[in-house]
Each structure stands twice: as C-alpha cells, then as structure tokens.
C-alpha cells in the first residue's frame, strides 16, 4: 500500500528526475488534467492538446516502468475539482502518511500548494524539479545582490560556472557574444527548405477536450497534429534540427518572411517548458554536434546556447525576484483594449496579419514576430499590459507564466520600467521592412508617415516617444531619438501626431 503521495504537474515531465530512479511500492504518483488549469485564461487548442498528450504519455511511461500512477483525465468528473480536493480524496482513500511535490514554476501554483501543505495533518515537502541550470536558491542569491540585472552578466556567470563554450577560462573564439553577426534577412527570391515536424493523429483527444466543454482559441488539424509531446521524439527532432537548422539559426534568427513561418527556429520551447528535455542536454548535444561539424559558425552555436542557458534562465530569475508585483506593473499606465483583430488576424497590416494568423494556426510565432511585430504594435498603441499578457499566455504553445510574463510585460512592453530591458523595443516600419518581405505585399506604404496609406507604425512610433518624453528622455540609449524629433519642424511633428491619433481612433479598422 502506498504511504507517500507525489504530485506531478503538467509542466514537470522530467523522466530523469531522481524521484523516478527506482520503483518504490510505498510511493504513488498522481497527475491531473484540471479545469482550473485550462480555465484561468483561454488557451490555444494546440497548447491544451500538447500538454494533455504529453502528460498521458508520461504517465504511461511511468507505469511501464512499474511506478503506481493515479491519473485524472479531463473527461473524469474529478477534473472539475481543485488540486487540493483531489489530493485530499487520495490521501484519505489510501491512508497516505506523507505528501510530496515538485516546486511549481508558476507563482500562483507555488502559493496554492504551499498553502495546501500548511493545512495538512500529514507531513509534506517540496523538491527541486532538477530541470534548470540554476536552482531557485542560486537564482535568489544572484538576483538578491543586485539592484539592476543585466543578462550579459548572468549569462557569463553560467558559462563560467558550467564551463560551456569556454577555453581556459576565456570565452571560446575570444568573444562572449556574436549577436551582431545574427541579423540577416532573407534575400529576395532566396529559397529555403522549411523543416517539418512529423504529424500524429490526435482526433480522439481533441474530441474529449471539446466534449468537456473547455473554451479555447485557435485552430487545429487534429488528425495531423504537429507538436512533439514525447521525449524520445523530441530528442530525435533535436538531432535533426542540429543537423539542418543550427547552421543557419544565427544568420536568420531575426528574419521574417510571409512564406516561411519557422525559418531555422528550433521549436524546442514546448519540449523544454514541459521539461521533457533539459537545457543541459540540449547544450551538451549542441556542443557534441558542433565538435563533429566545425564548419558551423560559432555565431550560430553561441546564439543558440545564449537563448537556452542565458535568456531562459535569466527570465526565470527575474520572475522569482519580482513576483507577485511584476504581474501588475504598468510603467506607461497604458489602458487601451486589445483590438478585436488580435483574435482573428483580420487586419490590413500585412505584418500583423501574418504574425497573428500564424499564431492562431500553429500556436507559434518566432521571437522577432512576437517582439517586433505584435508586441511592438501593442506598445505603440498603448494597450493595457494585462490584456497583452492574457493574449500571449493563451496563444503560444510554450506559454507558461514565468517565461511569458517576463518576455511580454518586461521585454516587449517595458511595463516593468526597465527591469528586463534597458529601453523599450519599439520600431517604425523601417525595421520590419528591413527584416521581412511583409511590406511589399501590404495595403500600407512602409515609407509614408502621413496620408491614407501611410504605415501606422511610422506615426505611432513618434507619438509614443512624444507622449512618454518625461519617462524616456533621460535614457541615454534613447536621447538621440529625441534629438531627431526635436529637429523636425512643428508642422511635420503635428502632422505625425494627428495621423497617429486618427489611426488609434479607428484602431479596429486598421
Ligand atoms: P528558438 O528561436 O529556436 O530559441 C531556442 C530556445 O531558446 C527556445 O526554445 C527558448 O526555450 C529559448 N529562448 C529564446 N528566447 C528566449 C527568451 N526571450 N526567453 C526565454 N527563452 C528564450 N518563450 C517561451 O518559452 N514561453 C513564452 O511564453 C514566451 N513568450 C514570449 C512573449 C514575447 C512577447 C516574446 C518577445 C518572447 C516570448 N518568448 C517566450 C521567448 C521566445 O520568443 C520563444 O521562446 C521562442 O520563440 C520559442 O520558439 P523556438 O523554440 O523555435 O525558439
Ligand atoms: Fe507592417 Fe507597415 Fe510594413 Fe505594412 S507597411 S507590413 S503595416 S510595417
């Protein structure tokens, strides 16, 4: 009979965790597909399916290895109850003497479970998930000692500590960062072979979710489901991607194109965030691969490694250093509602149309689409960060609060006033035109600032700076923009501001 009950959350699918190293008759695991987890925001259907499929497969693997698992499916009546109620039922039914869980990465669940344990009359304890490069304690140490945090300091620290891309204590190749080599757009007419994920038939899971009455966003071809939710298939994909994708990852990291949605991005974020694969494994395989394929440029390897062990871990550090306050920060006091076309993609702005439609079709957009297209527009338009957060948290396959909110509210919206970034990521049409082919096929003209066909990004860009002068003008990274603005004659400035206001008044029609 089990004496210990261990809870595994949907994003804790780390089969290498020490919990599973031996089968223990007195330990029972439980996993739950709960309405509480599908209902706090409207999620993309592919995200719900990927998580449930991954969880079900994980529980089968544990059972095949001899572990005892209690699994609540979304179609079971217990899925309507909370974690606490379901746990209480199991504790009573099996006369459990001890409750254990892995530390949740989400503040909300962390609070919920620690509160739950306080009310228990049996012993309980929490364990590290053994997934990240840094434990929560190490993050606390790093972030507590600093008033400002810079990714670069953090990243260098991890590289040194784990001896990654290091040569006798110095960065390999002589530089820590090769980002300036990673900014190419696709040349006109350049043909690519977009890498395809193998598909699977998940029709019955889709039907079960629909029948349970869960509200969702987005579209799915359930019989040809594209996302990988199994570790072995994920590792196969990683090897394939290292071979075909890594060599061009760096060069085209920031590029956007209306025909190629994924370019050379790895699509590993779901596998990582569900903890099916660890960052350490990815980095080790990458470096092994590079060792055998030295023609791959260091800029690609370092760029990829920086995302995995730098940005991803750093965002987690920011999250734990600043939650729960972080989720209500609104530095610019933005209040506008998100335009309705964020949920349909029906806008005349070609860049927005592509980024949003693709997100609805695939639960995916790559980093620059999220940051410099949708995020950029929302910031220039002054949309309430709460609404933007809910959109990003719902729509992306990889969206879990600790990494979503820091990227959205922090990096993309500057709603944290500069905790994550040193300046807001905003641009006019010039950047989008440079990095994509969206503008050539757009209703609007990327060169025009005023007039019926002027690109909305252009006038809104200057309006944003003018409106936020008191908050931004002293920032040394921005002062040049103010000098340029101040040199313009008043009539021109007023024309830009009027154009932006008129676009914002009819934002739903853009
Ligand atoms: P690749 O481009 O192949 O990069 C490799 C890996 O590096 C990713 O899988 C990811 O794990 C990691 N990575 C890259 N950039 C970041 C970053 N800024 N922060 C954290 N990890 C990073 N990422 C999420 O995992 N979940 C989110 O909810 C999320 N929301 C975002 C919201 C906004 C507004 C922005 C600008 C970025 C967001 N990101 C988020 C970061 C990044 O866009 C995604 O990790 C990436 O697009 C996932 O696709 P990929 O696996 O093909 O990534
Ligand atoms: Fe986007 Fe403006 Fe280019 Fe159109 S012209 S694609 S709206 S940047």
pLDDT of residue 340: 97
Candidates 258, 374, 437, 438: which one to mutate for ligand 2, based on the most atoms within 8 Å of Cβ? Answer: 438
Instruction: Identify the residues whose C-beta falls under 6 Å from ligand 2.
Output: 349-351, 429, 432-433, 438-439, 442, 444, 446, 455, 457
User: Are 49 and 206 contacting, i.e. CB atoms less than 8 angstroms apart?
Assistant: yes
- Per residue, what are the HEC states of 294-358? CCCCHHHHHHHHHHHHHHHHHHHHHHHHHCCHHHHCCCCCCCECCCHHHHCCCCCCHHHHHHHHH
The alpha carbon of residue 88 and the mean position of all alpha carbons in its chain are separated, in whole angstroms, by 33
Q: Residue with the nearest Cα to atom 2 of ligand 2?
A: 455
Which DSSP string do the residues of 375-403 spell out, in sequence order?
IHHHHHHTB-HHHHHHHHHHH-TT--HHH
Q: Among residues 368, 373, 348, which one has the least CA distance to residue 441?
A: 348
Residues of the chain with pLDDT under 70: 39, 189
Measured in angstroms, how far is the CA atom of residue 482 from the centroid of ligand 2?
Answer: 23
* 8 A C-beta contact, residue 166 and residue 172: yes
Q: How far apart are CA 398 and CA 404, in angstroms?
A: 8
This model's pTM is above 0.85? yes
Nearest ligand, CA 374: 1
Neighbouring C-beta atoms of residue 141, cutoff 10 Å: 12
CB 283 within 8 A of CB 312: no
| Ligand 2 atom 7, closest CA | 349
Q: What are the tokens at 313?
A: 């871990």
- The number of the ligand nearest the C-alpha atom of 11 reads 1
Question: What is the pLDDT, as a whole number, of residue 186?
Answer: 82
pLDDT of res. 353: 98
Tokens 């049409």 sit on residue: 429
Which pLDDT does position 14 carry in this prediction? Answer: 98
Cα separation, 185 vs 434, in Å, equals 7
CB 39 within 8 A of CB 64: no
Look up residue 454 and give its DSSP letter: B
Tell me the C-alpha distance between 341 and 357, whole Å.
10
What pLDDT is recorded for position 420? 93
């Amino acid at each position: 009979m089990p004496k210990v009950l261990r809870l595994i959350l949907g994003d804790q699918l780390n089969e290498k965790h020490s919990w599973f190293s031996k089968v223990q008759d007195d330990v029972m695991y439980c996993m739950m597909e709960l309405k509480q987890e599908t209902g706090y925001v409207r999620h993309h259907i592919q995200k719900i399916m990927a998580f449930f499929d991954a969880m079900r497969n994980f529980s089968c693997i544990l059972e095949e290895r001899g572990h005892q698992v209690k699994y609540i499916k979304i179609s079971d009546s217990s899925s309507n109850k909370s974690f606490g109620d379901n746990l209480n039922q199991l504790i009573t039914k099996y006369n459990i003497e001890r409750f254990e869980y892995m530390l949740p990465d989400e503040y909300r669940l962390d609070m919920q479970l620690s509160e739950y344990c306080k009310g228990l009359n049996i012993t309980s304890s929490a364990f590290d998930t053994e997934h990240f490069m840094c434990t929560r304690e190490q993050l606390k140490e790093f972030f507590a000692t600093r008033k400002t945090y810079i990714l670069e300091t953090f990243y260098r620290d991890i590289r040194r500590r784990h001896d990654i891309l290091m040569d006798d204590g110095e960065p390999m190749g002589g530089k820590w960062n090769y980002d300036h080599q990673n900014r190419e757009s696709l040349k006109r007419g350049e043909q690519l072979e977009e890498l395809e994920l193998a598909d699977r038939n998940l029709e019955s899971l889709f039907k079960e979710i629909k029948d349970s009455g869960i509200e969702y966003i987005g579209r799915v071809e359930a019989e040809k489901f594209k996302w990988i939710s199994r570790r072995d298939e994920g590792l196969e994909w990683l090897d394939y991607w290292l071979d075909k994708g890594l060599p061009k990852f760096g060069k085209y990291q920031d590029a956007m194109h209306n025909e190629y949605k994924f370019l050379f991005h790895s699509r590993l974020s779901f596998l990582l965030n569900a903890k099916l694969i660890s960052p350490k494994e990815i980095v080790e395989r990458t470096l092994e691969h590079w060792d055998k394929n030295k023609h791959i440029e260091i800029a690609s390897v370092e760029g990829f490694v920086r995302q995995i062990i730098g940005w991803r871990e750093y965002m987690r550090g920011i999250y734990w250093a600043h939650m729960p306050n972080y989720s209500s920060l609104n530095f610019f006091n933005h209040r506008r509602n998100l335009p309705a076309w964020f949920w349909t993609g029906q806008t005349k702005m070609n860049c927005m149309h592509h980024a949003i439609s693709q997100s609805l079709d695939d639960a995916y957009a790559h980093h620059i689409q999220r940051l410099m297209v949708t995020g950029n527009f929302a910031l220039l338009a002054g949309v309430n960060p709460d609404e933007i957060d809910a959109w990003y948290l719902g729509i992306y396959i990889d969206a879990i609060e600790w990494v979503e909110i820091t990227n959205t509210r922090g990096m993309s919206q500057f709603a944290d006033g500069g905790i994550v970034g040193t300046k807001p990521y905003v641009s006019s049409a010039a950047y989008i035109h440079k990095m994509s082919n969206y503008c050539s096929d757009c209703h609007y003209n990327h060169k025009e600032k005023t007039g019926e066909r002027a690109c909305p990004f252009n006038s809104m860009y200057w309006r944003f700076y003018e409106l936020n002068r008191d908050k931004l003008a002293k920032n040394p990274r921005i002062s040049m923009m103010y000098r340029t603005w101040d040199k313009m004659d008043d009539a021109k400035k007023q024309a830009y501001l009027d154009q932006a206001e008129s676009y914002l008044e009819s934002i739903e029609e853009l």
